[in-house]
């Protein structure tokens, strides 16, 4: 194929040139005497991304799933009750992981397309007067359905009920892209991964942990070894790791964190919203709907788009890939065949996104989906053209 393939799955995302170069280095000694001069400032700067002063951020060589496991296995004991809501494949998989760890999950099933049912959670916190619920799981951005949930509202519900449960957030497809405030929202474990907003290859679980979670780890009985916070704390304090770290990824992370901080997190969040809005305008112009049922659920990192009845999104994905060199996200599990997803997070700009919209549009038309030629592209273009940089969004990420 000539040119570049379009990568618009919601992770792995495109890796910026500066990050790619930072990764492409000779192997190094991970026990070198001067390594801490590199790692200690990085650990400190990661806290800015998570917006925590009192917590710690750990880097585990793993994908995001390992971050889920770290959260659970360090802080909970067999048979503990966990409250969670299932409204997409990723919220489902975290519940499944908890169950496989012998936890008693109170899983509230919610229609796919909606997010965390805060009122139901609030009632459960109030009713749980003997505090059986030890942790509550919130998937801040359900990547399968393109649904964002309100973490602050769950914190408010916990506080309102005076409930001491730990608050765990899956921020795999939100942290470093969508507003996230670990200390302000009282988040106890925040899980992210390298391959989305951090614009790196997969391979690092990046986890923010509160002091309250670290205290819970003192008495928690679930078995753990590889993901043990205690081993990380002991070695990180000197700037090292309990086992061989993926130093190339961590060198890349340094550059990615520099980029995010230089751009400013507020701009990072506004930029994701602005790009997402372009996709949403395109979807409207196509006459299609998002899987996310209401604007309050709209995700700024991924849009899951419903195809009309009678069309198979799996076929659309194959066609877009083979005919136009465009990778889009598949519909997963319950929405398999019905939705396709456009990832709009990480290192992308307006013109890249227009190519994804154009490719989706052409592929849909090729399969007979009744969308008007150019309609989505035109709507997104007009959104981008009318955006006023003076209004505050710096449109191109800082190099």
Ligand X SMILES: Cc1ncc(COP(=O)(O)O)c(C=O)c1O
Binding site for ligand X (CB under 6 A): 11, 63-65, 90, 139, 141, 143, 170, 172-173, 193, 202
Q: Provide the 3-class DSSP secondary structure of residue 168.
A: strand
In whole angstroms, the minimum distance from the beta carbon of 398 to ligand X comes to: 26
Pair 213, 89: CB distance under 8 Å? no
To ligand X, the closest distance from the beta carbon of 101 in angstroms equals 16
Which residue, 114 or 381, has its beta carbon nearer to ligand X? 114
Which residue's CB atom is positioned nearest to ligand X? 64
Choice between 202 and 265, CB closer to ligand X: 202
Q: Return the CA Rg of the chain.
A: 21
Within 10 angstroms of residue 117's Cβ, the number of other Cβ atoms is 18
Round to whole Å and give the CA distance between 245 and 194: 14
Q: Least distance to ligand X from the beta carbon of 162, Å?
A: 29
Using an 8 Å Cβ cutoff, are 275 and 353 in contact? yes
Task: Give least dist CB 184 to ligand X, A.
Answer: 21
Q: For residue 64, what is the enclosing H or E element?
A: helix 64-75
CB 220 to ligand X: min, Å: 22
What CA–CA distance (Å, rounded) separates 355 from 300?
18
Q: Which CB, 67 or 239, lies closer to ligand X?
A: 67
Instruction: Enumerate the β-bridge partners of residue 89.
Output: none
In the complex with ligand X, the residue whose CB is nearer, 248 or 299, is 299
Q: Which is nearer to ligand X, 95 or 364 (CB)?
A: 95
Tell me whether residue 393 is exposed, middle or buried, using C-beta atoms within 10 angstroms of its C-beta: 0 to 12, 13 to 18, 19 or more.
middle
With beta carbons less than 8 A apart as the criterion, state whether 31 and 240 touch: yes
Q: Which is nearer to ligand X, 193 or 245 (CB)?
A: 193
Nearest residue (CB) to ligand X, 208 versus 239:
208
Q: Which of 91, 112, 94, 107 lies closest to 335, judged by CA?
A: 112
Closest separation between CB of residue 140 and ligand X, Å? 8
In the complex, the smallest distance separating the C-beta of residue 264 from ligand X, rounded to whole angstroms, is 24
At 101, list the tokens: 């760890």
Closest CA to 198 of 179, 170, 169, 175: 175
């Amino acid at each position: 194929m000539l040119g570049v393939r379009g990568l618009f799955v919601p992770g792995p995302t495109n890796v910026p040139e500066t990050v790619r170069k930072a990764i492409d280095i000779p192997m190094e000694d991970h026990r070198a005497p001067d390594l801490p001069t590199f790692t200690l400032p990085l650990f400190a700067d990661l806290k800015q991304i998570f917006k925590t002063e009192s917590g710690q951020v750990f880097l585990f060589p793993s994908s995001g799933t390992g971050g889920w496991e770290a959260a659970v296995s360090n802080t909970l004991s067999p048979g503990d009750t966990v409250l969670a809501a299932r409204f997409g494949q990723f919220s489902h998989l975290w519940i499944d992981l908890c169950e496989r760890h012998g936890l008693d999950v109170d899983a509230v099933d919610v229609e796919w397309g909606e997010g965390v049912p805060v009122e139901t959670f609030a009632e459960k916190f109030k009713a749980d007067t003997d505090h059986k619920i030890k942790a509550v799981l919130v998937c801040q951005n359900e990547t399968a359905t393109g649904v964002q949930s309100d973490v602050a509202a769950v914190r408010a519900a916990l506080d309102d009920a005076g409930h001491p449960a730990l608050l765990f957030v899956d921020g795999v497809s939100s942290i470093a892209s969508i507003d996230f405030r670990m200390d302000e929202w009282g988040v106890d474990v925040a899980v992210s991964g390298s391959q989305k907003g951090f614009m790196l290859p997969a391979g690092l679980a990046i986890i923010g942990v509160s002091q309250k979670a670290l205290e819970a780890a003192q008495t928690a009985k679930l078995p753990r070894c590889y993901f043990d916070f205690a081993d990380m704390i002991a070695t990180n304090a000197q700037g090292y790791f309990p086992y061989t770290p993926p130093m190339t990824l961590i060198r890349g992370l340094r550059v990615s964190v520099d980029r995010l901080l230089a751009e400013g997190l507020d701009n990072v969040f506004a930029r994701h919203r602005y790009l997402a809005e372009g996709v949403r305008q395109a979807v409207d112009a196509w006459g299609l709907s998002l899987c996310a049922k209401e604007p309050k659920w709209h995700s700024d990192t991924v849009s899951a788009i419903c195809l009309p009845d009678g069309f198979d999104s799996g076929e659309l994905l194959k066609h877009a890939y083979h005919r136009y060199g465009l990778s889009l996200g598949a519909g997963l599990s319950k929405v398999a065949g019905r939705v396709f997803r456009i990832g709009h997070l990480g290192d992308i700009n307006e013109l890249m996104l227009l190519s994804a919209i154009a490719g989706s549009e052409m592929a849909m038309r090729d399969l007979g989906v009744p969308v008007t030629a150019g309609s989505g592209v035109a709507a997104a273009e007009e959104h981008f053209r009318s955006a006023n940089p003076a209004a505050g969004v710096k449109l191109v990420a800082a190099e």
